[in-house]
Structure 1
Amino acid sequence: MSGSVSQSVLHAGQRAPDFELPVAPDHKVGTSQFRGRPAVLAFYPADWSPVCGDQMALYQAVMPEFERYNAGVAGISVDNVWSHRAFAEDRGITFPLLADFEPKGDVARRFGVYNEQTGVCERALFVLDGDGVVAWSQVSPPGVNPGADGILNALEGMASERRPVL
């Protein structure tokens, strides 16, 4: 990881902190909306940066694969709801982009992925199980799009654990 991260990153087996963040001025989304099904949380540094735009557009493109596992998806950055709205409209993103804006980076800090030096989230992925426990996490360098393979492998692994052995 680059810079100074506020605490250690949450890893598999740790309970994710409960949170609720604005997706619009009058609407919030949080962990309670994902209970009972897997959740993909994609922390990213900033709307409008080329790598972030490509990453979020990729997740929109592979949304049918996420839905195959009944997984909810949310992007999280320290940008405000208005930036998120314009960014989502520009990129055709339909999953929620959550504003970890005020207090800035509070949720990212609780996941251990807020960079104090740069004032933005690290590029980090978390897959939570239906109980809100981290099943998989990854932190990537800011300039690297982590793709979707790790997420899909984690979701497949969780689905395999639930399948009965014949």
Structure 2
Amino acid sequence: MTDPNGLIRPGRPAPGFTLPATPDGREVGPGQFPGRPVVLAFYPADFTPVCGDQMALYQAAMPELERYDTVLLGISVDSVDSHQAFAESRGIRFPLLADVEPKGEVARRYGAYTPQEQAARALVVIDPAGTVAWSHLSPMDVNPGVDGILDVLDRLDADRQVAT
């Protein structure tokens, strides 16, 4: 199910997938990280100002995300080669996944695809059990930042500590 904006709602099982991550054909998806929170950062396009700033911010926040044992995956409909050049230009070291074949299929499954045939600027946090814990759709020209992600990871960590 999706929310009124189309984005997948919290409480739903996260759709499984793998997407190309490297020129040699290695594929990556959230199912490869069982027991860990996964952040999906859907973004419209490589080499655009807001997307570049957003992904660079997430790279800068990686020490904090890693404190929660979190995996971050960037996803757009750009090619693996474009992602590689973009990552190198911005110092991005987390995987950027190419949702290209069929174009935008994963973004569609998460409700994060636009009529302009690109990924929306959307964030989805998947909890360690594979359930959507939080989702957020941001305006295309607004960097959603990292605070919402960290708030959810704090809550998931608190819930885990209570359960143990």
Structure 2 length normalisation: TM-score?
Answer: 0.94
- Runs ≥4 in structure 1, deviation > 3 angstroms? none
Cα distance between partner residues in 2 of 1:158 and 1:164: 10
Cα distance between partner residues in 2 of 1:45 and 1:136: 20
Identify the match of residue 160 of structure 1 among 145, 158, 161. 158
Q: Which residue of 1 aligns with 2:6?
A: 8
Unaligned runs of 5+ in 2: none
Deviation at 1:89? Answer: 0.5
Structure 2 residue 38 is matched with structure 1 residue 35 = no
SS of the residue aligned with 1:89? helix
Bigger share in strand: 1
Cα distance between partner residues in 2 of 1:37 and 1:114: 25
Q: Which residue of 2 aligns with 1:125?
A: 123
Q: Which residue of 2 aligns with 1:4?
A: none
Alignment coverage as a number of residue pairs:
159
Deviation at 1:92? Answer: 0.5
SS of the residue aligned with 2:135? strand
Structure 2 residue 18 is matched with structure 1 residue 20 = yes
Alignment of 1:53-92 (within 5 A): 53-92=52-91
Cα distance between partner residues in 2 of 1:164 and 1:9: 29
Structure 2 residue 142 is matched with structure 1 residue 144 = yes
Cα distance between partner residues in 2 of 1:66 and 1:135: 16
Structure 1 length normalisation: TM-score?
Answer: 0.93
Q: Return the letter of the residue paired with 1:31.
A: P
Deviation at 1:32? Answer: 1.6
- Counting aligned pairs with the same residue, the percent is 59
Cα distance between partner residues in 2 of 1:45 and 1:16: 21
CA shift digits 1:69-125 (9 cap, x unpaired): 00000000000000000000010000000000110000000001111x211011000
After TM superposition, the structure 1 stretch with the greater mean CA deviation from structure 2, 124-133 or 78-87, is 124-133
CA shift digits 1:14-48 (9 cap, x unpaired): 11100000001321001222221000100000000
Cα distance between partner residues in 1 of 2:73 and 2:162: 29
Q: Which residue of 1 aligns with 2:109?
A: 110
Q: Return the letter of the residue paired with 1:79.
A: D
After TM superposition, the structure 1 stretch with the greater mean CA deviation from structure 2, 59-68 or 31-40, is 31-40
Q: Which has the higher contact order (CA 8 A, sep 6+)?
A: 1
SS of the residue aligned with 2:46? coil
